[in-house]
Structure 1
Amino acid sequence: MNPVPRPLTDDDWPGVLALETETYAGSGLSEDPAALASRAGRDTSFVLAADRRIVGYVLALSYPRFHFPDLSHPDTTAFASDNLHLHDLVVARGHRRVGLGTRLLHHLTAEARRQAYRLISLVAVGDGALFWSANGFRPHPGITPPVAYGPGAAYMSRPL
């Protein structure tokens, strides 16, 4: 299996929502479907599919530096920013540790550069900071995400 990232379509949402729920429901981080959909930039969100099943996705949107979505409700404001906020990157359990997360990140990074973004930011949740640090993201200790992002959440960014 060697899925290639492709743009997220409306038909992909049932698979994305199922994967998001499977990944986050146990931690209390699963988002309302409308809120999650509002974090998907039209030209900056991608999926990996294998046998018609979504096995990974990345959702990103233009967002001001040092800010992040409020998880309790959908985003209704479109921001013009040189910062691309990577809201979520998930790979299905049976497909992890084979480079698919890195493949999604590299694809998003290439698109961000092509679209003239200067930075990528994110909020690392759980033990995700290790993955993000290994991919060039650095924490900003003075920026504290709200409790809704879970214990130990860290705002991180990297230049493009």
Structure 2
Amino acid sequence: MITQKTKYALKALMALGAADKGAALTIEDVANRSGAPKRFLEHILLDMRRAGYVGAKRGRAGGYFLIREPDKISLGEMLRQIDGPIAPLPCLSRRAYRKCDDCEDEASCQLRRVFADVFYSYLLLIESLTLADLLKTPGIAEG
């Protein structure tokens, strides 16, 4: 399950992705377009800026804007950036692998085997989807 922070972050990125190319949106604009509360957006947009998704400019025409093309930002990458590892078990994570504390042998672990099949199918799909795909979904960029 994704967190509320992730939902707000994805909605904010969609609002920025749906804006006119090169246009900067204020936090108020992003909040209005995404439905995300302004107080959360300040932290989320700062995190997204540090991660290299969002740029910011100051001044009268200032605000936030995407610095990467929407088709170059995978949904899996965004989820990991916001919430960390997305694997259902630590022993299935590629980037944050950790042996399960209660597992004696990964090779014979039935839970690992079942969840591995489900997770890898999920991973193939989630990595193939991009911010551009989210923007194509009717009504989704409006909040």
Normalising by structure 1, report the TM-score. 0.27
Q: Which has the higher strand share?
A: 1
Q: Which has the higher helix share?
A: 2
Normalising by structure 2, report the TM-score. 0.29
> Could you say which structure has the larger radius of gyration?
2
> Which of 1 and 2 has higher RCO (CA within 8 Å, sep 6+)?
2
